Amino acid sequence: MPESADLLFRNVQLFDGSGADPVLGDLAVSQGRISAIGSQLTLHAHEVIDAAGLALMPGIIDSHTHFDAQITWDPSVRPSPALGVTTAVIGNCGFTIAPCKPADRDITMRNLTQVEGMSLEVLRQGIAWEFETFPQYLQMLKRKGSAVNVAAYVGHSSVRTWVMGAEATRRAATPDEIAQMAQIVREAMAAGAVGFASSTSPAHNGEGGQPMPSRLASDEEMMALIKAMGEQGRGVYMVTKGGQMPVPFLEEMSAQSGRPVMIAALLHNSTNPKAVFNDLQAITAANQRGRKLIGQVSCCPLTMDFTFLSPYPVEGLQSWKPALGIQGEALRHVLADPAFREGVRTELASTSTFRLFNNEWDKVHVVETFRPEHASLEQRSIADIAHEQGRNPLDVALDLALAEDLQTVFTAQLLNSDTEAVGRMLNHPHSLISLSDAGAHLTFFNDAGFGLHLLGHWARELGTMRMAEAVRQLTALPAEVLGIQQRGRLQVGWAADLMLFDPATVNRSAKKRVFDLPGGAPRLTTDALGVHGVWVNGQLVANGEGLMAKTPLAGELLTGFDA
């Protein structure tokens, strides 16, 4: 046992991340590592925290973020550190900004504006383009530092654009182009990527409604790239899959590459309630055959603010295509067209495909209006207004938006609204609780506090799982799946990534809008409840008031992962 320590927690409930019940004890930190754990430790410490009544757990590992752009101008990656996150995995879905040639920067930003709900002006003002290749991007991240530890996927859409340019969103790749992409993936893995990320989801569209580049990839391209990723015996393939990408094909990708496949986004759809459980059943069967597949699920209802200038919930509809990529009077003309509206109504009436919005107008509310005569509609559902007016709800929503120059703010609860079903997903043996999307959709929603919501709402309030199991789901499990070394557990010698919290009050607050993006642009955020401190590699980055005024860039760039 060391004679002294930098930091000593006394009389604290220790949730070690294993899923075991907490024990009352002390924990010491020296030089960024956990140096001692025990009962009534006898050592001198520079700082002693009497944590009676509180609990200490490993910091949250957020395995599904989109901080790739934000981290270049905001190394504190707000708001995640204040919400207990000590490690963030970026590059999910393959929507990265590296590799990127200077000639492709504008289209990369424009695609992110569409697919990730980001402001083009914010991206133009904020992104520090001090790199071209993926290894150079990692070098920049290491040089600049960050408040949390960071692991990065190399992204399929960026790799495809590097090789194919504008053709990346138009056609399948040639064998030579696939070979070039595979070499980029190999180089990224050698530089320290955590894996390779992609998307085939029909909801993922870039500028003008064009599919994101990865959606044009053939099965042959997908297989070649995951095999290139796995050649060095490590790496995770992460994919947000569309309906045309069945789990058996993903199992074959795992079989041929020898690597785990992480499948997003498994969300419960009340109008097609069996679909997500069918996927989880197929994932289970694959694991029983020795393949490592895991489904990313969310503990949060997918609730999103939007306007009809950027209506992400419906942009994946085939019938909405005529409204994509246009602005001004042309957009207003399309939205007012009776034929366009009838096409949308017809598609929404069908239950044959998975989509974000499922015609549940009782779950769409008016948040903010911009003309005084419409103020009485705020906080009311579109279904209620339509019933009162004796009109179709799509017409009600679009007519209100058009009357306000498309500035009306709506909110929609889209998926994951069935408590019993979501509870089953969270407890599934082959699921990983994730999908915060932190860093993306900043004006639409904010689930960066997903971990606090799991601890407070699902574990304490509903009793869906034990608090100790909720801690494991947020810490040791993602570390194990991703191969992150010496993090995710309270263990002597491991990194002192820690969250001190009150089990009786821990949760996230209601969302709020702040104006602190480049140029003063707005974003949605949330505050921590019941969190007393967050340490990254032994350094305090947030306390009970939120991020430290001068947030230490205490995080490490993670580039070495277990096989």
Residue-wise pLDDT tens digits, 205-245: 887 778 999 999 999 999 999 999 999 999 999 999 987 88
Residue 105 tokens, joined: 């920067």
Please calculate the CA angle 368-369-373 and round it to the nearest 5 degrees: 145
What pLDDT does 242 receive? 85
Give yes or no for a contact between 534 and 498, defined as CB atoms under 8 angstroms apart: yes
Q: What is the pLDDT of residue 184?
A: 98
pLDDT of residue 332: 96
Sign of CA dihedral 262, 267, 272, 274: positive
Q: Answer with the residue of higher pLDDT: 521 or 542.
A: 542
pLDDT of residue 442: 75
Q: Which residues pair with 304 in a beta bridge?
A: 412
| E strand or H helix that includes residue 201 | none
Residue 89 pairs in a beta bridge with 151
Spatial neighbors of 508 by CB under 8 A, at least 6 apart, are: 83, 449, 450, 452, 453, 456, 526, 527, 528, 529
Six token digits for residue 408: 């009306």
CATH number of this structure's domain 60-301+416-484: 3.20.20.140
Decide if pLDDT at 411 tops 80.
Answer: yes
Overall average pLDDT of the 514-533 stretch: 91
The residue ranking higher by pLDDT, 349 or 29, is 29
Q: Tokens 């207003």: give the residue.
A: 332
Report residue 271's pLDDT band, with 50, 70 and 90 as the boundaries: confident
The answer to whether 89 and 63 are in contact (CB under 8 A) is yes
Which residue has tokens 């929507």? 95
Q: Assign residue 385 a region (left: φ > 0; alpha: ψ between -120 and 50; beta: otherwise).
A: alpha
| pLDDT for 210 | 86
Q: How far is Cα 329 from Cα 86, in angstroms, rounded to an integer?
A: 46
Domain regions of the chain by residue span: 60-301+416-484, 311-412
Phi, psi of 286 (to 5 degrees): -65, -40
Using the predicted structure, report yes or no on whether residue 131 has a pLDDT greater than 80. yes
Tokens 């107008």 — which residue? 361
Residue range 486-514: mean pLDDT, rounded:
96
pLDDT of 12 reads 98
pLDDT confidence band for 325 (50 / 70 / 90): confident
Query: Using 50, 70 and 90 to split pLDDT, how confident is the model at 113?
Result: confident
One-letter amino acid for residue 146 of the chain: S
Confidence bin at 152 (pLDDT 50/70/90): very high
Amino acid of residue 319: S
Mean local confidence (pLDDT), 183-195: 98
Nearest-CA neighbor of 313 among 361, 242, 379? Answer: 361
pLDDT digits (tens, 9 = 90+) for 433-489: 999 999 887 767 789 999 999 999 999 999 999 999 999 999 999 999 999 999 999
CB neighbour list of residue 407: distance below 8 Å, 6 or more residues apart: 307, 309, 370, 401
pLDDT greater than 90 at residue 361 = yes
Give the mean pLDDT of 405-427: 93
- Residue matched to tokens 């969103």: 169
